[in-house]
Amino acid sequence: MRSLVILALTLAAWTHAANSAAVGEEHSERVLRGRDLSDKEHFHEGGSEHDADYDHEAFLGDEAHEFDDLTPEESQERLAKIVDKIDQDGDGFVTYEEMRNWIQFTQQRYISDDVERQWKQHNEADADAIPWETYRHLVYGFLDDEKPEEGQEAELEDEHQTYKKMEDRDRRRWDLADEDKDGKLVKTEFANFLHPEEAEHMRDIVVQETLEDIDKDGDGKISLEEYIGDMYRGDSGDAEPDWVKSEREQFEQFRDADKDGKDNEQSSPYLQVKAWIIPADFDHSEAEAKHLIYESDGDQDGKLTKAEIIDKYDLFVGSQATDFGEALTRHDEF
Protein backbone atom coordinates (compact mmCIF):
# COMPACT_ATOMS: atom_id res chain seq x y z
CA MET A 1 0.00 0.00 0.00
CA ARG A 2 1.43 3.31 -1.07
CA SER A 3 0.53 5.16 2.10
CA LEU A 4 -1.10 5.23 5.45
CA VAL A 5 -3.02 8.22 4.25
CA ILE A 6 -4.62 7.33 0.90
CA LEU A 7 -7.84 5.68 2.10
CA ALA A 8 -7.86 4.75 5.72
CA LEU A 9 -4.24 4.81 6.76
CA THR A 10 -2.74 2.08 8.77
CA LEU A 11 -1.95 1.50 12.37
CA ALA A 12 0.83 -0.04 14.39
CA ALA A 13 -0.91 -3.31 15.19
CA TRP A 14 2.13 -5.28 16.29
CA THR A 15 2.05 -9.01 15.64
CA HIS A 16 4.30 -10.13 18.47
CA ALA A 17 6.39 -13.25 18.75
CA ALA A 18 6.49 -15.53 21.73
CA ASN A 19 10.19 -14.97 22.29
CA SER A 20 12.78 -12.28 21.86
CA ALA A 21 14.26 -13.64 18.68
CA ALA A 22 10.98 -13.37 16.87
CA VAL A 23 9.97 -9.90 18.05
CA GLY A 24 11.72 -8.12 15.22
CA GLU A 25 10.37 -10.53 12.61
CA GLU A 26 6.67 -10.63 13.40
CA HIS A 27 5.59 -7.01 13.33
CA SER A 28 2.93 -7.07 10.67
CA GLU A 29 2.20 -4.42 8.12
CA ARG A 30 0.38 -1.49 9.70
CA VAL A 31 -2.98 -2.06 8.01
CA LEU A 32 -6.25 -0.80 9.32
CA ARG A 33 -8.04 -4.05 8.45
CA GLY A 34 -11.32 -2.95 9.86
CA ARG A 35 -11.41 -0.04 7.44
CA ASP A 36 -9.26 -0.73 4.42
CA LEU A 37 -9.62 -4.14 2.80
CA SER A 38 -6.16 -4.87 1.50
CA ASP A 39 -2.58 -3.70 1.78
CA LYS A 40 -2.64 -3.32 -1.99
CA GLU A 41 -3.33 0.11 -3.48
CA HIS A 42 -6.72 0.11 -5.22
CA PHE A 43 -5.75 2.69 -7.83
CA HIS A 44 -2.33 3.80 -9.03
CA GLU A 45 -1.16 6.93 -10.77
CA GLY A 46 -3.55 9.27 -9.06
CA GLY A 47 -6.56 7.03 -9.51
CA SER A 48 -6.25 6.17 -13.20
CA GLU A 49 -4.72 2.68 -13.03
CA HIS A 50 -6.74 -0.03 -11.32
CA ASP A 51 -5.00 -2.72 -9.24
CA ALA A 52 -6.97 -5.98 -9.41
CA ASP A 53 -5.03 -7.45 -6.48
CA TYR A 54 -6.94 -5.11 -4.17
CA ASP A 55 -10.23 -6.59 -5.36
CA HIS A 56 -8.90 -10.13 -5.00
CA GLU A 57 -7.92 -9.63 -1.37
CA ALA A 58 -11.02 -7.64 -0.52
CA PHE A 59 -13.26 -10.31 -2.01
CA LEU A 60 -11.54 -13.41 -0.68
CA GLY A 61 -9.10 -12.71 2.11
CA ASP A 62 -5.36 -12.57 2.65
CA GLU A 63 -3.86 -15.92 1.55
CA ALA A 64 -3.23 -15.28 -2.12
CA HIS A 65 -0.28 -17.67 -2.28
CA GLU A 66 -2.61 -20.69 -2.04
CA PHE A 67 -4.08 -19.93 -5.48
CA ASP A 68 -1.22 -18.28 -7.32
CA ASP A 69 -0.80 -21.29 -9.60
CA LEU A 70 -4.44 -21.99 -10.46
CA THR A 71 -5.39 -22.16 -14.11
CA PRO A 72 -8.23 -19.93 -15.32
CA GLU A 73 -10.49 -22.98 -15.46
CA GLU A 74 -9.71 -23.93 -11.86
CA SER A 75 -10.25 -20.37 -10.69
CA GLN A 76 -13.62 -20.21 -12.42
CA GLU A 77 -14.71 -23.54 -10.98
CA ARG A 78 -13.90 -22.48 -7.44
CA LEU A 79 -15.36 -19.04 -7.92
CA ALA A 80 -18.67 -20.64 -8.93
CA LYS A 81 -18.78 -22.44 -5.57
CA ILE A 82 -18.07 -19.20 -3.74
CA VAL A 83 -20.88 -17.44 -5.62
CA ASP A 84 -23.33 -20.06 -4.33
CA LYS A 85 -22.31 -19.18 -0.78
CA ILE A 86 -22.57 -15.44 -1.35
CA ASP A 87 -26.08 -15.82 -2.77
CA GLN A 88 -27.63 -16.34 0.65
CA ASP A 89 -31.26 -16.46 -0.41
CA GLY A 90 -30.51 -18.78 -3.33
CA ASP A 91 -32.41 -16.74 -5.89
CA GLY A 92 -29.61 -16.91 -8.45
CA PHE A 93 -28.51 -13.30 -8.00
CA VAL A 94 -25.81 -11.64 -5.90
CA THR A 95 -27.13 -8.33 -4.63
CA TYR A 96 -25.17 -5.39 -3.30
CA GLU A 97 -26.10 -6.35 0.26
CA GLU A 98 -24.94 -9.95 -0.23
CA MET A 99 -21.66 -8.80 -1.78
CA ARG A 100 -21.06 -6.33 1.05
CA ASN A 101 -21.83 -8.98 3.67
CA TRP A 102 -19.38 -11.40 2.05
CA ILE A 103 -16.58 -8.82 1.97
CA GLN A 104 -17.19 -7.97 5.62
CA PHE A 105 -17.15 -11.69 6.42
CA THR A 106 -13.76 -12.27 4.80
CA GLN A 107 -12.27 -9.31 6.66
CA GLN A 108 -13.68 -10.35 10.02
CA ARG A 109 -12.29 -13.85 9.48
CA TYR A 110 -8.78 -12.41 9.27
CA ILE A 111 -9.23 -10.63 12.58
CA SER A 112 -10.75 -13.58 14.44
CA ASP A 113 -8.06 -15.95 13.14
CA ASP A 114 -5.32 -13.54 14.16
CA VAL A 115 -6.76 -13.12 17.66
CA GLU A 116 -7.07 -16.89 18.15
CA ARG A 117 -3.51 -17.50 16.98
CA GLN A 118 -1.98 -14.83 19.19
CA TRP A 119 -4.16 -15.70 22.18
CA LYS A 120 -2.78 -19.25 22.11
CA GLN A 121 0.73 -17.98 21.49
CA HIS A 122 0.71 -15.66 24.50
CA ASN A 123 -1.44 -17.79 26.80
CA GLU A 124 0.39 -21.07 27.20
CA ALA A 125 -1.34 -21.70 30.54
CA ASP A 126 -4.77 -21.49 28.86
CA ALA A 127 -5.91 -18.99 31.48
CA ASP A 128 -9.01 -16.82 31.28
CA ALA A 129 -6.87 -13.68 31.05
CA ILE A 130 -3.29 -12.70 30.20
CA PRO A 131 -1.47 -10.50 32.74
CA TRP A 132 0.71 -7.71 31.39
CA GLU A 133 3.72 -9.27 33.11
CA THR A 134 3.24 -12.52 31.17
CA TYR A 135 2.87 -10.73 27.87
CA ARG A 136 5.79 -8.45 28.60
CA HIS A 137 8.04 -11.39 29.54
CA LEU A 138 7.21 -13.28 26.33
CA VAL A 139 7.67 -10.30 24.02
CA TYR A 140 10.19 -8.02 25.71
CA GLY A 141 11.80 -10.13 28.41
CA PHE A 142 14.99 -10.37 26.40
CA LEU A 143 15.61 -6.69 27.15
CA ASP A 144 16.36 -7.61 30.77
CA ASP A 145 19.10 -10.08 29.88
CA GLU A 146 20.90 -8.73 26.83
CA LYS A 147 24.54 -7.84 27.35
CA PRO A 148 26.55 -6.19 24.58
CA GLU A 149 29.67 -7.75 23.17
CA GLU A 150 32.79 -5.66 23.22
CA GLY A 151 32.58 -2.87 20.68
CA GLN A 152 28.83 -3.25 20.18
CA GLU A 153 27.63 -1.21 23.14
CA ALA A 154 26.34 1.73 21.10
CA GLU A 155 24.58 -0.46 18.53
CA LEU A 156 22.87 -2.52 21.23
CA GLU A 157 21.83 0.61 23.10
CA ASP A 158 20.13 2.00 19.98
CA GLU A 159 18.34 -1.30 19.42
CA HIS A 160 17.39 -1.48 23.10
CA GLN A 161 15.86 1.99 22.97
CA THR A 162 13.86 1.06 19.87
CA TYR A 163 12.34 -1.96 21.58
CA LYS A 164 11.80 0.01 24.78
CA LYS A 165 9.70 2.52 22.82
CA MET A 166 7.73 -0.37 21.38
CA GLU A 167 7.18 -1.74 24.87
CA ASP A 168 6.00 1.62 26.18
CA ARG A 169 3.64 1.94 23.25
CA ASP A 170 2.26 -1.54 23.82
CA ARG A 171 1.75 -0.80 27.50
CA ARG A 172 -0.20 2.35 26.68
CA ARG A 173 -2.41 0.42 24.29
CA TRP A 174 -2.73 -2.45 26.81
CA ASP A 175 -3.93 -0.08 29.53
CA LEU A 176 -6.57 1.35 27.21
CA ALA A 177 -7.78 -2.11 26.21
CA ASP A 178 -7.93 -3.18 29.89
CA GLU A 179 -11.44 -1.89 30.55
CA ASP A 180 -11.75 -3.21 34.12
CA LYS A 181 -8.21 -2.00 34.97
CA ASP A 182 -7.12 -5.26 36.59
CA GLY A 183 -3.85 -5.42 34.66
CA LYS A 184 -5.00 -8.47 32.68
CA LEU A 185 -6.74 -8.86 29.35
CA VAL A 186 -9.51 -11.36 28.70
CA LYS A 187 -9.85 -12.48 25.08
CA THR A 188 -12.22 -9.67 24.05
CA GLU A 189 -9.90 -7.08 25.58
CA PHE A 190 -6.90 -8.78 23.97
CA ALA A 191 -8.68 -8.56 20.61
CA ASN A 192 -9.08 -4.81 21.14
CA PHE A 193 -5.39 -4.57 22.01
CA LEU A 194 -4.38 -6.32 18.79
CA HIS A 195 -6.95 -4.60 16.56
CA PRO A 196 -7.86 -1.25 18.13
CA GLU A 197 -9.45 -0.09 14.89
CA GLU A 198 -12.30 -2.51 15.58
CA ALA A 199 -13.32 -0.98 18.94
CA GLU A 200 -14.85 2.48 19.18
CA HIS A 201 -13.18 3.27 22.50
CA MET A 202 -9.76 2.38 21.03
CA ARG A 203 -9.91 4.61 17.93
CA ASP A 204 -7.99 7.50 19.50
CA ILE A 205 -4.97 5.24 20.03
CA VAL A 206 -5.00 4.47 16.30
CA VAL A 207 -4.83 8.17 15.55
CA GLN A 208 -2.15 8.79 18.17
CA GLU A 209 0.09 5.96 17.00
CA THR A 210 -0.23 6.90 13.35
CA LEU A 211 0.51 10.54 14.11
CA GLU A 212 3.60 9.50 16.06
CA ASP A 213 4.78 7.35 13.16
CA ILE A 214 4.45 10.08 10.52
CA ASP A 215 5.43 13.07 12.68
CA LYS A 216 9.19 12.59 12.47
CA ASP A 217 10.13 15.89 14.13
CA GLY A 218 7.73 15.34 17.03
CA ASP A 219 5.99 18.72 16.85
CA GLY A 220 2.50 17.20 16.93
CA LYS A 221 1.72 18.15 13.33
CA ILE A 222 2.13 16.62 9.89
CA SER A 223 4.17 18.69 7.46
CA LEU A 224 4.00 18.30 3.70
CA GLU A 225 7.42 16.63 3.74
CA GLU A 226 6.31 14.16 6.41
CA TYR A 227 3.03 13.50 4.58
CA ILE A 228 4.78 12.72 1.29
CA GLY A 229 7.72 10.97 2.95
CA ASP A 230 5.39 8.46 4.56
CA MET A 231 4.16 7.25 1.17
CA TYR A 232 7.00 7.89 -1.25
CA ARG A 233 10.76 7.56 -0.93
CA GLY A 234 12.14 7.95 -4.42
CA ASP A 235 15.83 7.96 -5.22
CA SER A 236 17.54 11.31 -5.34
CA GLY A 237 17.17 12.85 -8.76
CA ASP A 238 14.19 10.73 -9.78
CA ALA A 239 11.19 12.54 -11.17
CA GLU A 240 8.16 12.25 -8.89
CA PRO A 241 5.32 10.09 -10.21
CA ASP A 242 2.11 11.90 -11.08
CA TRP A 243 0.28 10.40 -8.10
CA VAL A 244 2.80 12.02 -5.74
CA LYS A 245 2.20 15.40 -7.35
CA SER A 246 -1.52 14.79 -6.91
CA GLU A 247 -1.01 14.01 -3.22
CA ARG A 248 0.95 17.24 -2.78
CA GLU A 249 -1.99 19.13 -4.22
CA GLN A 250 -4.41 17.25 -1.97
CA PHE A 251 -2.37 18.21 1.07
CA GLU A 252 -2.10 21.84 0.13
CA GLN A 253 -5.77 22.20 -0.81
CA PHE A 254 -7.49 20.04 1.80
CA ARG A 255 -5.16 18.81 4.56
CA ASP A 256 -3.39 22.07 5.39
CA ALA A 257 -6.39 23.91 6.83
CA ASP A 258 -4.60 27.07 7.89
CA LYS A 259 -2.07 27.10 5.02
CA ASP A 260 0.97 27.01 7.31
CA GLY A 261 2.52 23.98 5.61
CA LYS A 262 1.38 21.59 8.34
CA ASP A 263 -1.65 19.38 8.78
CA ASN A 264 -3.33 20.59 11.96
CA GLU A 265 -6.47 22.05 13.42
CA GLN A 266 -6.74 24.76 16.06
CA SER A 267 -9.00 22.78 18.40
CA SER A 268 -6.76 19.69 18.44
CA PRO A 269 -3.29 18.70 17.19
CA TYR A 270 -4.75 15.63 15.53
CA LEU A 271 -8.46 16.11 14.85
CA GLN A 272 -7.81 16.68 11.18
CA VAL A 273 -5.41 13.75 11.09
CA LYS A 274 -8.21 11.62 12.55
CA ALA A 275 -10.52 12.70 9.74
CA TRP A 276 -8.34 11.05 7.12
CA ILE A 277 -7.17 8.11 9.22
CA ILE A 278 -10.69 7.09 10.15
CA PRO A 279 -13.13 8.68 7.69
CA ALA A 280 -16.49 9.13 9.37
CA ASP A 281 -18.66 8.53 6.32
CA PHE A 282 -16.67 6.04 4.25
CA ASP A 283 -17.12 2.27 4.44
CA HIS A 284 -14.62 0.28 2.42
CA SER A 285 -16.81 -2.83 2.32
CA GLU A 286 -19.68 -0.85 0.86
CA ALA A 287 -17.45 0.93 -1.64
CA GLU A 288 -15.83 -2.30 -2.78
CA ALA A 289 -19.18 -4.08 -3.16
CA LYS A 290 -20.46 -1.23 -5.33
CA HIS A 291 -17.26 -1.28 -7.37
CA LEU A 292 -17.39 -5.04 -8.03
CA ILE A 293 -21.04 -4.90 -9.06
CA TYR A 294 -20.52 -1.87 -11.29
CA GLU A 295 -17.61 -3.54 -13.09
CA SER A 296 -19.42 -6.87 -13.59
CA ASP A 297 -23.07 -5.98 -14.11
CA GLY A 298 -23.44 -6.56 -17.84
CA ASP A 299 -27.17 -5.87 -18.05
CA GLN A 300 -27.03 -2.99 -15.54
CA ASP A 301 -29.83 -4.35 -13.34
CA GLY A 302 -27.94 -3.68 -10.10
CA LYS A 303 -27.27 -7.35 -9.26
CA LEU A 304 -25.04 -10.10 -10.57
CA THR A 305 -25.76 -13.53 -11.95
CA LYS A 306 -23.23 -16.30 -11.57
CA ALA A 307 -22.52 -16.02 -15.32
CA GLU A 308 -21.71 -12.31 -14.99
CA ILE A 309 -19.31 -13.00 -12.13
CA ILE A 310 -17.63 -15.91 -13.91
CA ASP A 311 -17.31 -13.79 -17.05
CA LYS A 312 -15.33 -11.28 -14.96
CA TYR A 313 -13.52 -13.92 -12.91
CA ASP A 314 -10.20 -12.10 -13.26
CA LEU A 315 -11.69 -9.11 -11.43
CA PHE A 316 -12.65 -11.30 -8.48
CA VAL A 317 -9.81 -13.82 -8.44
CA GLY A 318 -7.61 -13.92 -11.52
CA SER A 319 -4.34 -15.64 -10.80
CA GLN A 320 -4.35 -14.28 -7.24
CA ALA A 321 -7.48 -16.06 -5.98
CA THR A 322 -7.29 -16.16 -2.22
CA ASP A 323 -8.66 -18.20 0.62
CA PHE A 324 -11.14 -20.28 -1.38
CA GLY A 325 -10.42 -23.47 0.54
CA GLU A 326 -11.02 -21.97 3.96
CA ALA A 327 -14.12 -20.15 2.76
CA LEU A 328 -15.58 -23.40 1.48
CA THR A 329 -14.61 -25.75 4.30
CA ARG A 330 -14.25 -23.74 7.51
CA HIS A 331 -17.12 -21.30 7.39
CA ASP A 332 -20.28 -23.15 6.43
CA GLU A 333 -22.12 -20.92 8.87
CA PHE A 334 -21.99 -18.03 6.40
Q: What is the amino acid identity at position 292?
A: L
CA 164, CA 136: separation in Å to the nearest integer?
11
Query: 144 or 65: whose pLDDT is higher?
Result: 144
CA 53, CA 152: separation in Å to the nearest integer?
43
Q: Do 50 and 280 contact (CB within 8 A), yes or no?
A: no
Q: Which of 16-30, 96-110, 263-277 has the lowest mean pLDDT?
A: 16-30
pLDDT > 90 fraction of the chain, expressed in percent and rounded: 32
CA 13, CA 206: separation in Å to the nearest integer?
9
Amino acid 217: pLDDT: 86
- CB within 8 Å of 212: residues ≥ 6 apart: 169
Rg (CA), the chain: 22
Q: Do 94 and 303 contact (CB within 8 A), yes or no?
A: yes
Query: 139 or 67: whose pLDDT is higher?
Result: 139
Mean pLDDT for the stretch of residues 115-126: 95
61-117, pLDDT tens digit by residue?
A: 554 455 566 788 888 888 898 899 999 999 999 999 999 999 888 888 888 999 999
User: What spatial distance separates the first Cα and last Cα of the chain, rounded to whole Å?
Assistant: 29
* Angle in degrees, 0-180, between the axes of helices 153-177 and 132-140, rounded to the nearest 10: 150
145-193, pLDDT tens digit by residue?
A: 767 666 666 777 788 888 999 999 999 999 999 999 999 999 999 999 9
CA 334, CA 328: separation in Å to the nearest integer?
10
- CB within 8 Å of 237: residues ≥ 6 apart: none
* CA 215-3-5 angle, 5° bins: 65
- Determine whether 224 is exposed, middle or buried from the number of CB atoms within 10 Å of its CB (0-12, 13-18, 19+): middle
